[in-house]
Structure 1
Amino acid sequence: MSQSLYTFPTETTQKLRKFRLSSARAKEMEAQIYSIDPKTYEIKYQEPEDEPVLNSIESLVEELPENTPRFIVISYPYTSSDGRLMNPLVFVYFRPSTSKQESKMLYAGCLEQFKDKISANKFIEIDDEEDFEELVDQIKK
């Protein structure tokens, strides 16, 4: 097993695990944002500033920095066209085009490790805040 530059503190791992388990029963959208500390390379949960739970695309976008990438985990329950209740776990890689190259490289280096850690049903890359307007359509594809 190879060593990784990036680490998941116990608190982050527990937060991801709890979200994964509770999101399977969620009745509405929930999202969590994760950042990487550029000094320690630790992946950390980003506590929302305005509300305890991010439960809309709008509240999610408000919490995102304009010029720094982030990893986002979303649970988005919906009813499919054939009437089935769907609740995919979605991993969104937000990398604004205005980000500095160092930040983009920092997050790109951890992307596969984060994907493996959360085992999401769907992976979506977003380069601009305006792309969040189409996020629901991409989740339902």
Structure 2
Amino acid sequence: MSSLYTFSPDTKQKIRKFRLSGSRAKQISAEIYKIDPTSYELQYEDPDDIIDSLETLADELPDNSPRFVLMNYPYKSSDGRLVSPLVFLYYMPPTARQELKMLYAGCVEQMKDEVAPNEFIEVADEDDFDDLDDQIRSK
């Protein structure tokens, strides 16, 4: 089955490395990906700051454009074990243009297949980040 969206070998390698780094994660880490609207290629977006908290991640996301976010989210479980799920955030701000919403909606399943996350969560704005910790820990 062919797809409209493409992942360059570099992007696939970056995703694979990030997945593998999660088992050793001691703090939150995240990578942001965008879709080039002309080539339909998924691309890593270099952040301005190191993303090591939910606040930093929320600050890095654009106000008017969707993004895909991969996040290693280490925490201690209720029984004291250190767990670090790979979380796939589908960021879809309500102020995004309809064309962009459709572009990202068309790729979300392919991205899930490529990433194989432990958890998938949709977020729409910064307020959704307030409940994100509880959502991740409750799964």
Band the TM-score falls in, shorter-chain normalisation: over 0.9
Aligned residues, how many? Answer: 138
The amino acid that maps onto 1:15 is: K
Give the corresponding residue for 2:22.
Answer: 23
Find the residue that maps to 1:27 and give its secondary structure: coil
Give the corresponding residue for 1:99.
Answer: 96
Give the corresponding residue for 2:109.
Answer: 112
**Any residues of structure 2 matched to 1:79-94 within 5 Å, and which?**
79-94=76-91
Inter-partner Cα distance in structure 2 for 1:25 and 1:77: 9
Inter-partner Cα distance in structure 1 for 2:126 and 2:44: 20
Following superposition, the deviation at residue 3 of structure 1 comes to 0.7
**Any residues of structure 2 matched to 1:1-141 within 5 Å, and which?**
2-49=1-48, 51=49, 53-141=50-138
Inter-partner Cα distance in structure 1 for 2:66 and 2:128: 14
TM-score (norm 1): 0.95
TM-score (norm 2): 0.97
The amino acid that maps onto 1:72 is: V
Find the residue that maps to 2:71 and give its secondary structure: strand
Following superposition, the deviation at residue 24 of structure 1 comes to 1.1
Inter-partner Cα distance in structure 2 for 1:74 and 1:137: 15
Inter-partner Cα distance in structure 1 for 2:22 and 2:65: 26
Q: Could you list the runs of 5+ residues in structure 1 that have no partner in the other structure?
A: none
Inter-partner Cα distance in structure 2 for 1:22 and 1:121: 14
Task: Give the ranges of 4+ consecutive aligned residues of structure 1 lying more than 2 Å apart after TM superposition.
Answer: none
Following superposition, the deviation at residue 83 of structure 1 comes to 1.1
Inter-partner Cα distance in structure 2 for 1:70 and 1:136: 19
Q: Could you list the runs of 5+ residues in structure 2 that have no partner in the other structure?
A: none
- Percent identity, please: 57
Following superposition, the deviation at residue 130 of structure 1 comes to 1.1
Inter-partner Cα distance in structure 2 for 1:39 and 1:63: 23
Give the root-mean-square deviation of aligned CA atoms.
0.7
Inter-partner Cα distance in structure 2 for 1:79 and 1:132: 19
